[in-house]
Structure 1
Amino acid sequence: MESLGSRIKQLRLRAKLNKAALARNVGVSDVTISYWESGAIKQIGHERLVALAEALDCSLATLLEGNSAPLLPTLNNEGPLPWEQVQSTSLTVPEHLPLKANWKAPCMMVTPGPDTNFAPAKPGDLLLLGPTQVFHKAGQYLVEKDGQLQLTQLSKAANDVAIQAVVLGHWKSA
């Protein structure tokens, strides 16, 4: 599996940028670019990931998963859950993503489908979902309420909703 650092380097070369030019576009030093490409720095904040994708003229999914990334399952208010979709592929939480959750189980990267309402996420954004049916700690959860899936901020367990997943991360599209 290709590392994030090698993808950054490949995409930088494809964009015909040297490290200094990419660094200026992202708002970091060229030494930071070198550290990212070598893997010396493994975690990159989501603002920097979005800026990198924009500077490298690629999608966030391509930056994070490469060109071989499968089609992302879509998250819809009704219909099959992402892990029930044919093209779904579970993954372990990538170490380069800055997550506050310590999630060991398989998870899924998904995007809200068109004409859906999963505020604050919009179609094109990326969500990392960890399937669960229990409340773990305060955070955003994908819940089923009145036959509709929605993202809900929960600070304690709620008896009136069926929890489907915990949102481990949310990245806005570039």
Structure 2
Amino acid sequence: MQALGPRIKQLRLEAGLNKAALARLVGVSDVTISYWESGAIRQIGHERLVALAGAFGCPLGELLSESAPDTARVFPLTATPPAPWQPHPRQHVSLPAELLGDANLGAECYLVTPGPGEQIDYLAAGDLAAITPVSTFQRAGLYLVEYQQQLLIRQLQQGPTGELLLLRDRQSPDEAAIADASLRLYGKIQARWRA
């Protein structure tokens, strides 16, 4: 059985929180978080356990679990921001290299498929995509973006003078939109599987 202190630390790191941020979410000091993680304080009240689970975006049972849960989940992708995994940041997966071919996945990715009735460029109904969270343009490729208050999948590439071009499916670069300040990147598509 994994002790609660190391489990809290593991979940905190997976959630991308430092001790001070977690302390604010739970309503304790960051010193208390350190004591919980080290095991110096072994008794944590129910109210604080519930607050910890809420901060990690997991059920209380997962926080108290003896083993790490299987977190694989496929998120329905809609045109409504934010990214579908944002309320559940820990629901990422690591896929085996043999499934990815030449794709180069980062430490975590999220699986998405178009939601019911959604028309998503580059993804047909039933298709599956693995998306690595990013907030900056890395190199040409397919990205999940928020643009003009909609979630879209677009081919992003740099134009001749360094501007960022957004291309729809089967669109040439001279027809592409030029990104403005409303563009927000959520992730880069690393792999797609057709239905």
TM-score range, shorter chain: 0.5 to 0.7
What pairs with 1:15-164 in structure 2 (closer than 5 Å)? 70-86=72-88, 89-156=91-158, 158=164, 159-160=179-180, 161-164=183-186
Structure 1 position 117, deviation (Å): 2.1
Q: Does residue 1:168 correspond to 2:170, yes or no?
A: no
Classify 1:149/1:71 alpha carbon distance in 2 versus 1 (closer, same or farther; 3 Å): same
Structure 1 position 105, deviation (Å): 2.4
Structure 1 position 100, deviation (Å): 3.5
Structure 1 position 134, deviation (Å): 0.8
Classify 1:69/1:107 alpha carbon distance in 2 versus 1 (closer, same or farther; 3 Å): closer
Classify 1:139/1:87 alpha carbon distance in 2 versus 1 (closer, same or farther; 3 Å): closer
Q: For 1:136 and 1:101, how far apart are their aligned partners in 2?
A: 14
1:95 partner letter: A
More off after superposition, 97-106 vs 136-145: 97-106
Q: For 1:117 and 1:150, how far apart are their aligned partners in 2?
A: 10
Classify 1:85/1:153 alpha carbon distance in 2 versus 1 (closer, same or farther; 3 Å): same
Classify 1:111/1:147 alpha carbon distance in 2 versus 1 (closer, same or farther; 3 Å): same
Q: How many residues align?
A: 106
- The CA RMSD measured in Å over matched residues stands at 2.3
1:103-130 deviation per Cα after TM superposition (whole angstroms, max 9, x unaligned): 3221111111112221220221101001
Q: For 2:83 and 2:151, how far apart are their aligned partners in 1?
A: 9
Percent identity over the alignment?
A: 30
Tell whether the 8 Å contact from 1:117 to 1:150 is kept in structure 2 after alignment. no
Structure 1 position 168, deviation (Å): 0.6
Q: For 1:114 and 1:88, how far apart are their aligned partners in 2?
A: 24
Structure 1 position 71, deviation (Å): 4.4
- Structure 2 gap ranges (5+): 1-69, 165-178
Classify 1:80/1:163 alpha carbon distance in 2 versus 1 (closer, same or farther; 3 Å): closer
Tell whether the 8 Å contact from 1:73 to 1:87 is kept in structure 2 after alignment. no
Tell whether the 8 Å contact from 2:82 to 2:151 is kept in structure 1 after alignment. no
Q: Which has the larger radius of gyration?
A: 2
- Structure 1 gap ranges (5+): 1-67
Per the normalisation by structure 1, the TM-score is 0.53
